[in-house]
Amino acid sequence: MSAEIISHFDGIVTAKITGKLTHADLTAMQQDAFGIIGREGGIRVLIICEDFQGWGKEGDWEDVSFQNKSDPYINKMALVGDKKWADLALMFTGKGFREFPIEYFEPGEIDKARAWLKEY
């Protein structure tokens, strides 16, 4: 699996993405996240990318139905990954077009990303 939720604690949902992200894996992870939102309400999201190799070509990547349903419940999003993916990842997640802040951190900055997520 290239994308999965690995924990949800203290209002932070942590997901891990490895290798090439497929649309099917992203959709499954989004459904899991929506279940957590349904139980907990507002969340903060930490996405950790390890050995990230980009996005698969198959699937409907233009489908934003998850964003439309979940965005009102997401307070912040932090991405952690190799610096070379920062610009594309921020574009993919829609930084600047969504109602909540999104920031990118390098792999050695996971604690910094968590601290940023906890700030109000």
Q: Render 65-114 in DSSP notation, one character per residue.
A: HHHHHHGGGEEEEEEE--GGGHHHHHHHHTTTTSSS-EEEE-GGGHHHHH
The pLDDT confidence band at residue 56, using thresholds 50, 70 and 90, is very high
Q: Domain span at residue 9?
A: 3-118
Given a cut of 80, whether residue 58 has pLDDT beyond it is yes
- Region 56-73 average pLDDT: 91
Are 47 and 12 a contacting pair, CB within 8 Å? no
Query: What are the residues facing 105 on neighbouring strands?
Result: 80
In this prediction, what percent of the chain has a pLDDT beyond 90?
86
Q: Which two tokens stand for residue 71?
A: 């965005």
Given a cut of 70, whether residue 1 has pLDDT beyond it is no
* Alpha-carbon Rg for the chain in angstroms: 13
Diameter of the chain by CA atoms? 38
- Region 13-29 average pLDDT: 96
- pLDDT at site 41: 86
- pLDDT at site 62: 87
- pLDDT at site 120: 80
Output the pTM of the full model: 0.94
Terminus-to-terminus CA distance in the chain, angstroms? 33
- Region 86-96 average pLDDT: 95
CATH number at residue 49: 3.40.50.10600
- Region 74-84 average pLDDT: 97
For the chain, the average pLDDT equals: 94
How many domains would you assign to the chain?
1
